Amino acid sequence: MTITTLFDNNAAWAAQVEAEDPGFFRRLGQQQAPEYLWIGCADSRVPANQIVGLAPGELFVHRNVANLALPTDLNMLSVLQFAVQYLQVRHVIVTGHYGCGGVQAALRRVELGLIDNWLQPLRAIAEANADTLAALDGEAARVNRLCELNVVQQTRNVAATPIVQQAWRAGRALSVHGWIYALSDGRLRDLGCTVDGPEQLEPAQRMQAGA
């Protein structure tokens, strides 16, 4: 497959979309009003829009290695602020996936170079849950459990940001969800860690966010 193939694929896709929904691209260019922000992994096997069956314009997306939502990441924070304050999204969805390579690297503690600094928060999660992970049988089970624990923590991180806290203080209906995707069957699973308001966060997290 060559680069030219990608342009050919694009032309075919655009023609098919326009044939099925005449005027789609003209309407799409006039506004952007998604209800959802997806914070997910950059893994090529986890295409956000396709997984949830949404068309272009219906899902605002931020992706990085291991779907981290760090309070020091200006890229993620800028996306979050734009989505919450200007696009007025109603749902922020942190989505990880089983078998994540970033999570696996953090658990194995292999040296990879620059990305080691990025994965340090994941290693901290692993250390904080060392007993839970050690009790599981096999590396695959430990990686998958750490994938889940990571989503839960990143969901809390998003909910604790001043951006989300300010939206709640303003009376906005905004929920932060934690989901995980299985490559083995293509299904999403809700990890049951949704945060709908500041009272659902631990006191230390509320203080950190200035709530």
Measured CA to CA, the distance from residue 145 to residue 139 in angstroms comes to 10
Catalytic (active site) residue 193: no
Q: Identify the active-site residue in 100, 142, 145, 193.
A: 100
Residue 120 CB partners (closer than 8 Å, separation 6+):
none
CA 156 from chain centre, in angstroms, equals 12
54's tokens: 């949404």
Q: Identify the active-site residue in 8, 27, 45, 109.
A: 45
Catalytic (active site) residue 45: yes
Q: Identify the active-site residue in 62, 97, 142, 177.
A: 97
Measured CA to CA, the distance from residue 201 to residue 18 in angstroms comes to 45
Check: CB of residue 56 under 8 Å from CB of residue 49.
yes
Catalytic (active site) residue 97: yes
Give the closest residue to 147 by CA, choosing from 191, 111, 194: 191
Catalytic (active site) residue 156: no
Check: CB of residue 74 under 8 Å from CB of residue 91.
no
Check: CB of residue 161 under 8 Å from CB of residue 205.
no
Catalytic (active site) residue 196: no
Q: Identify the active-site residue in 41, 145, 147, 193.
A: 41
Active-site annotation, residues: 41, 43, 45, 97, 100
